[in-house]
């Protein structure tokens, strides 16, 4: 079954708005696990506007499910990952000023850089994933760089889905098929929701993992965290 990793960045954003520890990011992560999440995702940015480096250190020894840390692999990020050693690292091409990830890697142009970075993480025993668009060439060059998995950037799917679900999912099925032929694992994330997740899952049932934050945390405001996580997991069955 496809795993659900809950991205808790938005919980940290709410906490940071008041400067105290409410909501408690670590407790929310533990509650997500208790309610059925298969993993926890965080994206510690250099300015620490949501997840802080201290959160990462606190979370690692307490989580019992898969810990996925995503980010741009600058020196600070690499140092953090090699110290913490999560189960998975997801490399994204974000600049420090970006509000959110809005594109995948040009894995062909960045082949040498990605290969060097991925080698460091693989030597440390960390599973590697590279964030890419639904583009066969980008998937192929991620494989050449040595990535264990690719994470498909699904915002274009989410945008087109309400108008034409079949057209929206088609390039993702093609890219997912390429990844499978290359022997790579497959993740997906960005703007996935209760409205569009099940359709993606049915089209690509071999997805290893989806990472969802914004929509899931927003839904939890209305449904409650436990029910929301179960609703998302129901979309993956």
Of 18, 59, 41, 25, which Cα lies nearest the Cα of 189? 41
Of 66, 70, 140, 151, the active-site residue reads 70
50 belongs to the catalytic site? no
Helix (H) or strand (E) run with residue 12 in it: helix 9-16
The confidence score (pLDDT) of residue 113 equals 97
Check whether domain 3-234 has CATH 3.20.20.70, yes or no: yes
Read off the pLDDT of each residue in 56-65 and give the average, rounded to a whole number: 98
pLDDT tens-digit series, residues 4-21? 999 999 999 999 999 899
Written as six digits, the tokens of 39 are 């993993």
Active-site residue identified among 33, 50, 151, 190: 190
The DSSP result for 166-191, as a single string, is HHHHHHHHHHHHHHHHTT-EEEEESS
pLDDT, tens digit (0-9, with 9 covering 90-100), for 96-144 = 665 565 679 999 999 999 999 999 999 999 999 999 999 999 999 999 9
pLDDT grade for 94, boundaries at 50, 70 and 90: confident
Residue 70 annotated as catalytic? yes
Instruction: Quote the tokens at residue 95.
Output: 């600049």
- Whole-structure pTM value: 0.95
Out of 33, 43, 151, 209, which one is annotated catalytic?
Answer: 43
Q: What's the average model confidence in pLDDT over 162-185?
A: 98
Residue 190: active-site member: yes
| 198-233 residue pLDDT tens | 999 999 999 999 999 999 999 999 999 999 999 999
pLDDT given at position 99? 53
Q: What is the pLDDT of residues 19-30, one digit of tens each?
A: 899 999 999 999
Q: Provide the token pair at 96.
A: 């420090």
Q: Are 180 and 167 within 8 A, CB to CB? A: no
């Amino acid at each position: 079954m496809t795993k659900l990793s809950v991205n808790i960045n938005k919980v940290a954003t709410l906490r940071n708005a008041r400067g105290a520890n409410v909501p408690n990011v670590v407790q929310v992560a533990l509650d997500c696990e208790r309610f059925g999440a298969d993993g926890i995702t965080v994206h510690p940015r250099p300015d620490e506007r949501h997840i802080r480096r201290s959160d990462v250190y606190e979370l690692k020894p307490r989580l019992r499910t898969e810990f996925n840390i995503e980010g741009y692999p600058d020196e600070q990020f690499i140092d953090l990952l090699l110290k913490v050693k999560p189960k998975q690292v997801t490399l994204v091409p974000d600049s420090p000023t970006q509000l959110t990830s809005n594109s995948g890697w040009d894995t062909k142009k960045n082949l040498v850089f990605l290969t060097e970075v991925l080698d460091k993480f693989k030597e440390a025993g960390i599973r590697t994933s590279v964030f890419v668009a639904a583009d066969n060439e980008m998937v192929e060059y991620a494989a050449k760089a040595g990535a264990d998995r690719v994470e498909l950037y699904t915002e274009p799917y989410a945008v087109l889905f309400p108008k034409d679900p079949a057209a929206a999912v088609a390039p993702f099925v093609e890219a997912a098929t390429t990844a499978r032929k290359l022997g790579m694992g497959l993740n997906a994330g960005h703007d996935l929701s209760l409205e569009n997740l099940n359709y993606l899952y049915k089209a690509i049932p071999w997805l290893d993992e989806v990472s969802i934050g914004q929509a899931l945390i927003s839904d939890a405001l209305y449904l409650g965290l436990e029910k929301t996580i179960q609703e998302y997991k129901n979309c993956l069955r």
